[in-house]
Amino acid sequence: MPSPYRAIFAAPGTKGFSAAGFIGRMPISMVGVGILTMISEITGRYGLASALTGALALSAAAVGPQISKLVDRHGQRRVLRPATLFAVASVAGLLIAAANGWPDWTLYVFSVLAGCVPSVGSMVRARWTAIYRDTPSLHTAYSFESVVDEVCFIFGPIVAISLSTTWFPEAGPLVAAACLLVGVWWLTAQRATEPEPHPHDGHGERTSALRSPGLQVLVATFVATGAIFGSIDVATLAFADERGHKPLASVILAVWALGSCLAGIVFGLLRLKGTAERRWVLGVCAMAVSMIPLLLAGNLPFLAVALFVSGLAIAPTMITTMALIEAHVPRAKLTEGMTWISTGLAVGVAVGSSVAGLVIDAAGAKSGYVVAISAGATAAAVAFAGYRRLTRPAQGEEPATDGDGDSRTERAGRSGGEAGRVA
């Protein structure tokens, strides 16, 4: 492992919570594609499958920030364990309903209830922030976590689709629920690295982190970005199915995540110049442009190459996003702020997967990539429109400067360039 990545694990407890976070995050790439595969295997209806995935994502989008707000006030252990138990029980209900052919409305009910899933990635990043705040190591830690996300997306779909297509349809979501339960329990058992809660922030407990203009821009952009992800998941599954190789969809999606993973590793080692805001806009635009070649795919190998190239823009953009959140959101609301990004993605995934499912049912698998291209163009447009909000000084609930007078936004912009100096 390169020295900057090795250095961040010198702090006590970092290896433990990182490993627990990896297990707890596997469901982010398994549940959605697992439900898609399960329902399509049982009923053959991609419209229903994508609609259920969308219902789950919308529910998670609504509930996730509220869970994280409670975590900021009361701590991770007190909030995450009961929320996880409720989510796992709801997933179990969904599997039972699907396996026994219950009415469609029961599937929607359980999908909505299963949205009570905590944002494990935000919980882990909050621990890194508590340890390395205001240091170059935080950029490296964020880069590492983005790589972990992508590793989850490499193996998660493979596991979920393979289990549901070769074992039994409900196997993918079942294993995902088990990973969530084990990961959250292990993470919350590690009290030494748990960030200190802020039960009284002194500015009204009802105040939301989303009041930050900068965070509003990031979340709005990531709604469109989530639509890219959701539509590509559905379109790729259907594309492989049309060509008689449905299980290979997991491999194709893993290649997409591999491109992002490799880019994230390299990005964490670079000494970058310029502002984080400018890098973020360029990253969003790169994601949008990289969607265009997908329409040219006529076979699975070409599609795999096109997705690999498009994946190169994902992790660097996500890493820069986390640096901007840390710059624009008050410390007492950091977990909530990070979760709002996941919420934006979840809403986008719901919209993208639902629209793509309907389009695919009507016009074929390849048409699903038109949804991804449209979402990419929307993300770029929103990023350009909101650029000035990101460059304004952060209006937080605490001083926007550190001890040497540097603004938090300027500090975030330098973090990428300083990462390579870590021993």
Per-position pLDDT tens, the chain of length 423: 456 778 888 888 999 999 999 999 888 778 877 888 888 788 777 778 878 887 887 788 788 888 888 888 888 888 999 999 999 999 999 999 988 888 889 999 999 998 888 888 889 988 988 888 778 788 788 888 877 877 777 677 778 888 888 888 888 889 999 999 999 999 999 988 888 887 764 444 556 666 777 788 888 898 999 899 888 988 888 888 888 887 788 788 888 888 888 888 888 777 667 677 888 889 899 999 999 998 888 888 899 999 999 989 888 888 888 778 877 777 777 777 777 887 787 778 778 877 888 888 888 888 889 999 999 999 999 998 888 877 765 544 443 333 333 334 333 343 333 333 222
pLDDT given at position 206: 57
d(CA 95, CA 407): 50
Tens-digit pLDDT profile for residues 274-321: 677 888 889 899 999 999 998 888 888 899 999 999 989 888 888 888
Q: What is the DSSP string of 322-355?
A: HHHHHHHS-GGGHHHHHHHHHHHHHHHHHHHHHH
Tens-digit pLDDT profile for residues 50-105: 788 878 877 887 888 888 888 888 888 889 999 999 999 999 999 999 888 888 89
d(CA 112, CA 157): 21
Q: How many domains, in total, are found in the chain?
A: 1
Enumerate the H helices of 197-299 as residue ranges. 213-242, 248-267, 276-289
SS percent in the chain: helix, strand, coil, step 5: 80, 0, 20
DSSP state of 294: G
The verdict on residue 198 lying in a domain is: no
The verdict on residue 197 lying in a domain is: no
Closest CA to 209 of 72, 12, 400: 72
pLDDT given at position 20: 93
pLDDT given at position 408: 40
Indicate which CATH number applies to the domain containing 57: 1.20.1250.20
The verdict on residue 199 lying in a domain is: no
Please, are residues 308 and 194 in contact by the beta-carbon 8 Å criterion?
no
The verdict on residue 204 lying in a domain is: no
How wide is the angle at C-alpha 275 spanned by C-alphas 270 and 279, nearest 5°?
A: 65
3-state secondary structure of 304: helix
The verdict on residue 201 lying in a domain is: no
d(CA 25, CA 415): 25
Residue type, 161: I
- The C-alpha R_g of the chain, in whole angstroms, comes to 20
Report the first-to-last Cα separation within the chain, whole angstroms.
12
Tokens matching residue 100: 């026994």
The verdict on residue 292 lying in a domain is: yes
Residue type, 118: P
Tokens matching residue 36: 């898609």
Identify the residue whose tokens are 């290896």.
Answer: 15
3-state secondary structure of 1: coil
Indicate the burial class of 174 (C-beta count within 10 angstroms; 0-12, 13-18, 19 or more).
buried
pLDDT given at position 242: 84
pLDDT given at position 229: 86
The verdict on residue 24 lying in a domain is: yes
The verdict on residue 258 lying in a domain is: yes
Range of the domain at 94: 3-192+209-421
